[in-house]
Structures are given as structure tokens and as C-alpha cells.
Amino acid sequence: MAINTDRIALGYGNAYIAAYSSGSVEALPADTVARDGSWGGAWANLGSTTADGVKYTSSNEFRHVDVGQSTVDVFSRVTKQNVEIELTLKETSVENLKYAMGFGSLSTSGSSGVLTVSHNPGLMEYTIGLEGPSPDSDVTAAQRILFYRCVPISEPEQVFSRDEETMAVVKFKALLHGTSSIYQIRQYRP
């Protein structure tokens, strides 16, 4: 097999978030928007991440069925799908902390932001967009992933230390949107 370096992706990722709406999910930007370009709409960029920064995992559980007449399984079914998104944010604004917790009321006045958390909160649902390099020789190429409906499952922790930056690890679990959609991956190669 020949080596094709245009199929190797290398680079950092960006994360975006928007409120989830079952009737009108926030769309990914058009393919004409280059990587690092403005996503527009209701998308909020979650800002700087660590070098490990933006990742998602997709795992499946299977049921393999065998019968007495065969030494090989005769069919398999996926019995559970689990998709999680994990972001390590270096920008620990009250806005990002609200996204991480999925509840609370946010108020801003001038240069101040206040996140107030009450007991028995209702959990917010979000649409998450990830953007990274697409396998292409052009640096403007982008791979974009849209997670239609997500809820935060992180337990935010902040450490204030003179030796390290303050960071927030944020985790989301993807849920079913409509009757069949979980996420989509799109590659833009100019």
C-alpha cells in the first residue's frame, strides 16, 4: 500500500457549544468556512484547551449469538452504544463552569459574571461541535463533528495552585436525538 501523507491529520482541536433544541439543532458551519473560522449562529467557542484538549470516545456493547449447530457465532447485535466527549478547558470562566455543570443561573454586569447554583437543579441539554484538522495537505481543511444532544456528566473540579494553571475537565454524554441520530462527522477538504 502506498503512503499518502494527505490522509494524516495533525493539529489542535476547538470545541463549541449551543443550547439543544429538538426542533432545530444548531448546524455545523458551511464547508466554505475554513478551520478556525467563525461558526456563527448560536455557537459559543469554549476557548483554549490543554494539549490533550478535545476528544470523544465511542464504545459499543455486543450480544453475540451462537447455536448448537455451529462452532462460530451466527450473528451479532449492538446492545448498547456509549458516546462521551471530554474537554480540558484552560479558560475557567463562569460561562464554561455553567456548561460543565449543566445547571445554575448566570448573570453578568460590566466585567463581573456570577454563577449561582441552587439545590435540585434541572439539567441543561446542549449541542456540541468539535473541530480539528482534516486529513489533507491544506491547513484550512477541517473535520467537524456534531453531537446533536448532550448532557454534562462531569464533576467539575478547580485547583488553584501557584505551579499550575487552573483548568476544568468537562465531560458530556451524547443522547439520542429524534429516533436515530447521535452524531455526524464531516470532513471539509478545500
Q: What is the pLDDT along the chain (190 residues), one digit of tens a residue?
A: 788 777 777 778 899 999 999 999 999 999 888 888 899 999 999 988 877 778 899 999 999 999 999 999 999 999 999 999 998 888 888 888 888 888 878 787 777 888 887 776 778 999 999 998 887 766 677 889 999 999 999 887 777 778 887 788 889 999 999 888 999 999 877 6
CB 145 within 8 Å of CB 117: no
| Residue entry with cell 495537505 | 137
- Collapsing DSSP to helix, strand or coil, 6 comes out as helix
pTM comes to 0.84
Burial class (CB in 10 A: 0-12, 13-18, 19+), 113: middle
162 Cβ neighbours under 8 A, 6+ residues apart: none
In the chain, where do the E strands start and end? 14-19, 44-45, 49-65, 75-89, 105-109, 112-116, 126-133, 142-152, 168-175, 183-188
Angle at 83 between CA 101 and CA 151, to 5 degrees: 25
